[in-house]
Amino acid sequence: DFELEAQKRKMAIEVLPNNRDVVLELDAEKMVRVINNLLSNAIKYGHEDSVITMEVLRNDGVVTIAVRNAGDPISKEVLEQLFARFYRAEASRSKETGGTGLGLAIAENIVKSHGGMMYAESENGQTSFYVCLPEENQGSLKQFKEKLK
């Protein structure tokens, strides 16, 4: 239970109310797995006494689910590797928190199977993970990426 884990670390999870009317055609069970992975990581690696936010953004046919937390900064080099299979940002941190280095790779594969993409940003003490999906599940990933630029 995420709320219980967050409470143990004195964290709150806030779901921002915007765009709650978005309807996507997708495998709900698999997408829940993606969101669960992002929330679990936000709790594990976020700072105590902080707020994790989740919101849905909508722009030009692209629906983006953003999960943000306050935590230690992640370097650009590490951000580029985060979605690789078996990659763990820091061996010592991974031993402490557990994990196989597969969660984000699996999440990214699920998102790609829905015609979408994932990416992460880390700046000013905030890490953000984005799940971007085409509002209409049509067209190629290349066309979709062009819309994001």
Instruction: Over range 18-41, report the average pLDDT.
Output: 90
What is the percentage of the chain residues whose pLDDT exceeds 90?
55
At residue 90, the pLDDT reads 59
pTM of the model: 0.83
| Cα separations in angstroms, 109 against 34, 42, 54, 91, 126 | 10, 19, 21, 23, 24
Instruction: Over range 107-115, report the average pLDDT.
Output: 95
Higher per-residue confidence, 113 vs 96 = 113
- Give residues with Cβ within 8 angstroms of 119, minimum separation 6: 129, 130, 132
Place of tokens 């994001």: 148
Q: pLDDT at residue 122 above 90? A: yes
Backbone angles phi, psi at 46, to 5 degrees: -80, 160
Instruction: Over range 122-146, report the average pLDDT.
Output: 76
Average pLDDT of the chain is: 85
Residue 67: how many CB atoms within 10 A of its CB? 22
Ordered structural domains, the chain, with CATH: 2-140 (3.30.565.10)
Contact predicate 64/57, CB 8 Å? yes
